[in-house]
Amino acid sequence: MKAVTWYGKHDVRVEEVPEPEVTEPTDAIVRVTLAAICGSDLHLYHDEIPGMLPGTVLGHEFVGVVESVGPAVRAFKKGDRVVGTFHIACGHCRACRRGDYHQCERGGVLGYGLAFGNLPGAQAELVRIPYADVNLRPIPAGLSDEQAIFAGDILTTAFGAVKNAGLRPGERCAVIGCGPVGIFAIQSAQVFGAAKTLAIDLIEKRLALAERLGAIPIDAGKSNPVSRVMAETGGEGADVVIEAVGGSQTLELAFDLVRGGGRISAVGVSAEETFAFPLMSSFTKAIHFHLGVANIHRDIDATLALVAAGRIDPTVIISHRLPLEEAPKGYRLFAERKATKVVLIAG
Ligand code: NAD
Ligand code: ZN
Ligand code: ZN
């Protein structure tokens, strides 16, 4: 079968690889119809994540049709249309029983290398999904592949970030980064009832999309985002700040933007090991700070329901639709910020 494979910095290829097979009774094989390139794949593309082996099949955002299932799979059968969660959970370990699916003791991330379970990814014609009953969801009737795909990762990541921040109706939410995750954070903040969403980025096109969705755009390259957010919040700062870039620079900015008693929720992936935490000011301002990998299983049913109800249109971010064979071009366009979101048509 054809699959997108990783060979090092800025080197992804489309190759013939062996087809996956059911190896555990709880596995399903999914025939991928649509896969996306995630901002997290860019960290691999820039060779920032340790533990990648040359030839690793990439990709963790996908929808498809169930091709075959192991004998222990109860919820799915051949022919079912499904969306998959980007991280795999077993459903039975101590963490999963607690609802911390992102901390599963047997878990991993599809297509993210040795440090994340060494699971082949979904930018391929077929993908093996372990614990299929736990990690797949049926696509609600009437939803297209493009409407469903992001529930398995970035839409639910952004929604969960806003939920983790405890955003209440009438609050003001600043979103740092208007990539696909930031755009979905804006849409999620509006669903949670934000009175004002402030969108910070450096790219005009992405800010324009944020503005079309009802946010106030702030170009951090042209104006000081701290003074702009202060001006928009009566000098207080944002009630909630969502960090959707990754790295210490934008984390520092989040602490500057948040009001006293406010909440920061950061979902950007950081390759840096440490970060100089603003200890004294966070103490005196009594800041809540939440950081981490998303818990997709906790929130995916909610995001699918919101999309099905027409409350969130996730297709607004798609700028490029390419055949799987053109994945290297898709990675290049996304890395060069010439594409907002690339989806790969696999079948
Ligand atoms: P992206 O790279 O397309 O978006 C990042 C955006 O940040 C870009 O629009 C860029 O212009 C903007 N940006 C960069 N520097 C900035 C600065 N100094 N100030 C303001 N804006 C700046 O990626 P994405 O798909 O939107 O993903 C965003 C982040 O979320 C990535 O780090 C990704 O790995 C991460 N992510 C995390 C999870 C999770 O589980 N926590 C899940 C999915 C994605
Ligand atoms: Zn992702
Ligand atoms: Zn588990």
Model confidence band, residue 347 (pLDDT cutoffs 50, 70, 90): confident
For residue 7, count other CB atoms closer than 10 A to its CB. 14
For ligand 3, the distance from its centroid to the CA atom of residue 86, given in whole angstroms, is: 14
Model confidence band, residue 270 (pLDDT cutoffs 50, 70, 90): confident
Mean pLDDT of 168-183: 98
Q: Mapping DSSP to helix (H, G, I), strand (E, B) and coil, where does residue 145 land?
A: helix
Per-residue model confidence (pLDDT) at position 271: 84
Lowest mean pLDDT among 212-221, 271-280, 325-334: 271-280
For ligand 1, the distance from its centroid to the CA atom of residue 307, given in whole angstroms, is: 22
Per-residue model confidence (pLDDT) at position 5: 98
Give the C-alpha separation, 100 to 97, whole Å. Answer: 7
> For a substitution probing ligand 1, which of 38, 40, 295 has the most ligand atoms within 8 Å of its CB?
40
Per-residue model confidence (pLDDT) at position 252: 97
Mean pLDDT, the chain, rounded, equals 97
Residues with CB under 5 A from ligand 3 (ion): 89-90, 93, 96, 104
Mean pLDDT of 315-326: 98
Per-residue model confidence (pLDDT) at position 344: 98
Cβ–Cβ < 8 Å for 105, 94:
yes
Cβ–Cβ < 8 Å for 154, 300:
no
Which tens digit of pLDDT belongs to each residue from 34-75? 999 999 999 999 999 999 999 999 999 999 999 999 999 999
Give the C-alpha separation, 86 to 89, whole Å. Answer: 10
DSSP state of 346: -
Which tens digit of pLDDT belongs to each residue from 212-241? 999 999 999 999 999 999 999 999 999 999
For ligand 2, the distance from its centroid to the CA atom of residue 39, given in whole angstroms, is: 6
Model confidence band, residue 263 (pLDDT cutoffs 50, 70, 90): very high
Complete domains list, the chain, with CATH = 2-152+295-345 (3.90.180.10), 156-291 (3.40.50.720)
Cβ–Cβ < 8 Å for 278, 252:
yes
Mean pLDDT of 99-106: 98
Query: Which residues, judged by CB distance below 6 Å to any ligand atom, belong to the binding site of ligand 1?
Result: 38-40, 42-43, 153-154, 157, 176-182, 200-203, 206, 220, 244-246, 249-250, 267-269, 293-294
> For a substitution probing ligand 1, which of 245, 290, 295 has the most ligand atoms within 8 Å of its CB?
245
